[in-house]
Structure 1
């Protein structure tokens, strides 16, 4: 799995119906996707934005979203792969 594939898979989880953004740093899905998609675009351009790394940190916004939304185990797999590739 490439870094872009990890990001695409993460995004698919971020748009699941019923996600709970209350414990993340985002107010809602739209805000989360706006930030995430902008960072993914930077990766596509060959950059490695530090902010993207922060999103995947333990207790970071993505983990909080995953835990509160029921996909914590899948997130841990994605985060581990992200760490290997980033």
Structure 2
């Protein structure tokens, strides 16, 4: 992937937002904040070794996906929309 570093940076930024005592995962597919962070870390590692892992990320970043649900419930929904747009630009989603 040409923009691997951009995608890894975006995932780091997302992790930093999620790693907060105010994060609410109630309406997401995750049980705990730690589960979300572990998933993001696993996906980062998969990307680094060449496994695209893009399909799972597209689901998580998609409208009403877990990342959006977490962002809305945690008070940073507008910031998430900007992150999601960057994600779409990086991976070439339509």
TM-score class normalised by the smaller sequence: over 0.9
1:60-75 aligned within 5 A:
60-75=65-80
Which of 7, 11, 15 is the equivalent residue of 1:7? 11
Name the structure 2 match of 1:43.
47
Q: What SS does structure 1 have at the residue aligned with 2:23?
A: coil
1:25 alignment partner in structure 2: 29
Larger Rg: 2
Q: Which has the higher contact order (CA 8 A, sep 6+)?
A: 1
1:81 aligns with 2:86: yes
Specify every segment of 5 or more residues in structure 1 that has no aligned partner in the other structure, as ranges: none
**Residue range with higher mean Cα deviation, 41-50 or 70-79:** 41-50
**Which sections of structure 2, spanning at least 5 residues, go unmatched?**
none
Alpha-carbon separation, structure 1, partners of 2:79 and 2:47 = 22
Match of 1:59 in 2: 64
TM-score for both structures, normalised by structure 1: 0.92
Count, aligned residues: 86
Q: Which runs of 4+ in 1 moved over 6 A?
A: none
Q: What TM-score results when the alignment is normalised by the length of structure 2? A: 0.85
The alignment partner of 1:16 has SS state of coil
